[in-house]
Amino acid sequence: MFLKFLKLEFKSFFRGSSVGVNLFMKVLRILGILYFTGCFAGGAFIAFFLVQKEMQQDPLKIISKFMVVLWAVDLILKYLFQQMPTQNIKPFLTLNISKRTLVNYTLIKTFLSPFSWMNSVFFLTFSGICLFNGYGIVETVAWLTGISLLLYLNNFINILFNNKENIAIGAGIVIAALAGLTYYNVIPLLDYSEKLFYSLYTKPYFIVIPIVMFAGLWSICYKYVYKEFYLDQGLEAKKTFGKTENIAFLNKYGAIGSFINNDIKMLRRNKVTKGILIGSFMFIFYGLLMFTSSIYKTPYMMMFMGLFVTGGFQFLFGQRVPSFDSSYYPLMMTLNVPYKEYLKAKWWLMNIVTAVSMVVALFYAVISWELYVTFFAAGLYNIGVNSQFTLWSGAFTKAQIDLNSKEKVMGQKNSFNMKSILLMIPKMLLPMAVFGVSKYFFGMTAAVISIAVLGLIGFLFREKIFDIIVNIYKSEKYSTLEAFKSKN
């Protein structure tokens, strides 16, 4: 039966009106998977020989020491990006197929996601290197099996707490608190991790513990999914009573104020948009990467970081402008909606958040005033130039977004467009080049002024640029409507 399910999914891939684009996106995805697979495999070699040759320590102990960190990161990534593959299962619920079989297939399918098995490439390669360098066969296999099972437990944890945001927030606070206590040496969590995970190697019979945990969580997860596995219950979109919310002072700004009001409500109410807000906040700390490598301290990369630190919300929200309204976009197009005011509302909202990000990023001044001034200049460029180019690229992003699910737009067939990629040149490469060259030849002050001037020029000519963007949205109107109505 499992093979039949896989065969049906394979057939569904080659049906529909967008087979060519689907195939192209699949090829890109496969290439991406192969790339990261190579990175994980290569990382195993680097981790082993770097620790052994440079640090003169046991690589297995060092990996075991940081396993608790890897486990937490794996859990967070799965919670943010991985979801239950229920959409392709729903049609089978009306057929004479055992629900037990469907539930087991759904659970097994979660392990086929790259988020589940990609880290296994690292540990398989690392274990192979260990065996080649004289580590015990039984001990290494026990360690590998135990580590893999403990990481796969995250699949079950993700399923059990996927829609329980309060528990997720609580778990996030606990993880952050433990990380802080470990960083300041209050709790030797890394030492505990080393003893715990390295014991799988020194005492192979401890493998019984992760096996029992895996079997127990599988049973609990199976019962949980089985209980909720109904079209009118667990798999149905949850309905909540709506609350009337209104930010009164925005109404005095006419249509623009009303659109901003609606967007703020959308950002506060839905899972996808809440994820956008969280992601935007996390982007503010992107500049801390400068401590990981000297390459980030170059003027070009400092400007690159600054664009993301101040423009995280802009990039995550702006380039999906019509997609967020995909559920009612066809209705909007039947009404007398002022297109320019609709886009201006998005523009103002993005720039308000960008301005707030520039203020929040002030803590970078503690590291270096030059760093913060660079980020401030990047923020000005985001407000004056990138905000409009981001809306421009949004016209070509036609992926449907279900606001009540955690499904991501990245990777969908309509999210890829060559025009959007070409627009990355003025959005990213131009400010990096201008800032880097200006600083090299004329100094920091000239570099900041040059970026600020570009932002000011974009801001002054915004009306002309908006006219161009509105015409592009209108020219893409019918293809956008077709994409939003398509279910394939």
Q: What angle do CA 114, 117, 120 make, to 5 degrees?
A: 140
70 and 197 in one domain?
A: yes
144 and 38 in one domain?
A: yes
Q: Is residue 261 part of a domain?
A: yes
pLDDT in tens, 361-379: 888 888 888 888 888 988 8
Q: What torsion do the CA atoms of 245, 247, 252, 255 make, to the nearest 10 degrees?
A: -60
Split into its structural domains, the chain has a count of: 2
Burial status of residue 98 (CB atoms within 10 A of its CB: 0-12, 13-18, 19 or more): exposed
Q: Which residue has the higher pLDDT, 274 or 139?
A: 139
What is the extent of the structural domain holding 353?
A: 251-485
pLDDT of residue 300: 80
> Rounded to an integer, what distance in angstroms lies between the CA atom of residue 472 and that of residue 476?
6
- pLDDT above 70 (res 9): no
pLDDT of residue 89: 65
256 and 216 in one domain?
A: no
Residue finishing a domain among 196, 228, 260: 228
441 and 322 in one domain?
A: yes
Q: Is residue 419 part of a domain?
A: yes
196 and 256 in one domain?
A: no
Residue 407: band (very low, low, confident or very high) from pLDDT cuts 50, 70, 90: very low
Handedness of CA 221, 226, 229, 232 (dihedral sign): negative
255 and 224 in one domain?
A: no
Give the count of beta carbons closer than 10 Å to the beta carbon of residue 317: 23
270 and 175 in one domain?
A: no
Residue 163: band (very low, low, confident or very high) from pLDDT cuts 50, 70, 90: low
345 and 294 in one domain?
A: yes
Q: Is residue 59 part of a domain?
A: yes
Total-model pTM: 0.56
Q: Is residue 5 part of a domain?
A: no
pLDDT in tens, 170-208: 887 888 888 888 877 888 888 899 999 999 999 999 999
Q: Is residue 241 part of a domain?
A: no
Burial status of residue 256 (CB atoms within 10 A of its CB: 0-12, 13-18, 19 or more): buried
The residue to which tokens 């990213």 are assigned: 428
Q: Is residue 243 part of a domain?
A: no
Q: Is residue 83 part of a domain?
A: yes
- pLDDT above 90 (res 113): no
271 and 176 in one domain?
A: no
H helices within 50-66, ranges in order? Answer: 59-65
> Rounded to an integer, what distance in angstroms lies between the CA atom of residue 161 and that of residue 48?
35
Q: Which residue has the higher pLDDT, 443 or 6?
A: 443
219 and 296 in one domain?
A: no
Query: Where is mean pLDDT largest: 91-105, 118-132, 286-300, 363-377?
Result: 118-132
Ramachandran assignment for 242, one of left (phi > 0), alpha (psi -120 to 50 degrees), beta (any other): beta
- pLDDT above 50 (res 240): no
Q: Is residue 1 part of a domain?
A: no
Q: Where are the beta strands (DSSP E) in 3-68?
A: none
Q: Quick one: how far is CA 63 from the chain centroid?
A: 26
DSSP per-residue codes, 173-196: HHHHHHHHHHHTTSS-HHHHHHHH
> Rounded to an integer, what distance in angstroms lies between the CA atom of residue 37 and that of residue 33?
6
pLDDT of residue 140: 92
- Report phi then psi at 402, rounded to 5: -90, 110
> Rounded to an integer, what distance in angstroms lies between the CA atom of residue 372 and that of residue 355?
14
- Report phi then psi at 486, rounded to 5: -70, 140
91 and 215 in one domain?
A: yes
268 and 199 in one domain?
A: no
